[in-house]
Amino acid sequence: MSKILVKAPAKVNALLRVLSGRSDGYHELEMVMVPLTLCDEIALTATTGGVAISIDGQADAGMSGEKNLACRAARAFIEAAGVDAGVNIELAKRVPIAAGLGGGSSDAAAVLRGLNTLFGTGLTADRLAGIGKALGADVPFFCHGRPAFVEGIGDRVSVYTSFPKSSYLLVNPGFPVSTPWVYKQWDLQLTMKRPDARVRPLFQVFSDVIAFLHNDLEQVTIPAHPEIEVIKGALLKAGAAGALMSGSGPTVFGVFEDQEARDEAHARLSHEGWKIYRAEAMLDPEFV
């Protein structure tokens, strides 16, 4: 095998609690993360050596540096697995960046999973997540790629064996939000910390998804970007059973029990000028 195609799904945070800050700058979190059928697409081609990348057909030598998470993932995998080869990465972006949807982290995890298959190294999802932990907090989750309860800084992933079917309408207002800025503001503005011990939520039916919807970071991002609250209201008015900002924002997602209700809401909101994406919860992923 010399080439493989891999999907890198977006995610939403159906639950995000910030428990406390850490001395290393990270935060102790509890999250319920759900991968979606909205995906970047990545082609990986084995080469004789080195790592190169093109994004949406545009090659740029600067893109293969340390700032590119997909390239860093490739180098980390090659070193960890002891592979004597290189890779060319062709990335087709579909997930908006700096949007609270985990696009860069998902691309990195997709590279790890794809190279594992391409080179036949047989590493487990837990081993890939261990490599990914050094790349970014969301990377371990994407190495598993199923709805999961995620703890710590994102490194403790407990996959749900079952999760209710649900449809999503993602609304992005078109501006980026810096995740480091959001957490810095959290530290500056909110001093009350939650206790470390929490109950892991169970998701057996669709109403459970709605009941647990919560994101602590809305308290920071919405005051700085009130349009996020406007989008939440528009989604609920259009028929969403629940609406929430994903991650540090600014993307807001509406949750629907079926595709028909979701598509009706899409039609009602399509004239607003926002970037809108339709997706389903990815319950049985076919990454590669």
More confident residue, 272 or 285: 272
Model confidence at 131, pLDDT cuts 50, 70, 90, reads very high
Whether the per-residue pLDDT at 192 is higher than 60: the answer is no
Model confidence at 101, pLDDT cuts 50, 70, 90, reads very high
List strand residue ranges (DSSP E) for the chain, in order. 3-21, 27-47, 51-55, 58-59, 86-92, 148-152, 156-159, 167-172, 214-215, 242-245, 252-256, 275-280
Q: Please state, in angstroms and rounded to a whole number, the distance separating the CA atoms of residues 110 and 284.
A: 16
For position 27, what pLDDT does the model report? 84
Give the mean pLDDT of 82-89.
95
Residue type, 54: S
* Radius of gyration from C-alpha coordinates of the chain: 19
3 state SS of 200: coil
3 state SS of 169: strand
For position 222, what pLDDT does the model report? 96
Model confidence at 82, pLDDT cuts 50, 70, 90, reads very high
Q: Please state, in angstroms and rounded to a whole number, the distance separating the CA atoms of residues 215 and 100.
A: 12
For position 7, what pLDDT does the model report? 95
For position 190, what pLDDT does the model report? 60
Residues of the chain with CATH 3.30.70.890: 167-280
Model confidence at 24, pLDDT cuts 50, 70, 90, reads confident
The CATH code of domain 3-159 reads 3.30.230.10
Residues of the chain with CATH 3.30.230.10: 3-159
Query: Environment class of residue 116 by beta-carbon count within 10 Å: exposed (0-12), middle (13-18) or buried (19+)?
Result: buried
Whether the per-residue pLDDT at 197 is higher than 70: the answer is no
Token pair for 138:
């969301």
More confident residue, 180 or 264: 264
Which contiguous run of DSSP H or E holds residue 269? helix 259-269
Whether the per-residue pLDDT at 204 is higher than 70: the answer is yes
Task: Write the CB contacts of 136 (distance below 8 Å, at least 6 apart in sequence).
Answer: 69, 104, 105, 108, 154
Provide the 10 A C-beta neighbour count for residue 30: 21
Whether the per-residue pLDDT at 86 is higher than 90: the answer is yes
Whether the per-residue pLDDT at 64 is higher than 60: the answer is no
For position 285, what pLDDT does the model report? 67
Token pair for 228:
């996020």
Whether the per-residue pLDDT at 247 is higher than 60: the answer is yes
Whether the per-residue pLDDT at 252 is higher than 80: the answer is yes
Whether the per-residue pLDDT at 238 is higher than 80: the answer is yes
Model confidence at 189, pLDDT cuts 50, 70, 90, reads confident
Q: What digits encode the pLDDT tens for the residues 150-173?
A: 999 888 999 999 999 999 999 999
For position 58, what pLDDT does the model report? 80
Q: Alpha carbon 47 to chain centroid distance?
A: 29
Pick the CATH number of 167-280 from 3.30.70.890, 3.30.1600.10, 2.40.50.100, 3.40.50.720: 3.30.70.890
Whether the per-residue pLDDT at 118 is higher than 90: the answer is yes
For position 253, what pLDDT does the model report? 98
DSSP code at position 211: H
Whether the per-residue pLDDT at 287 is higher than 80: the answer is no
Which residues are annotated as catalytic? 11, 138
Whether the per-residue pLDDT at 65 is higher than 80: the answer is no
Give the mean pLDDT of 182-194.
75
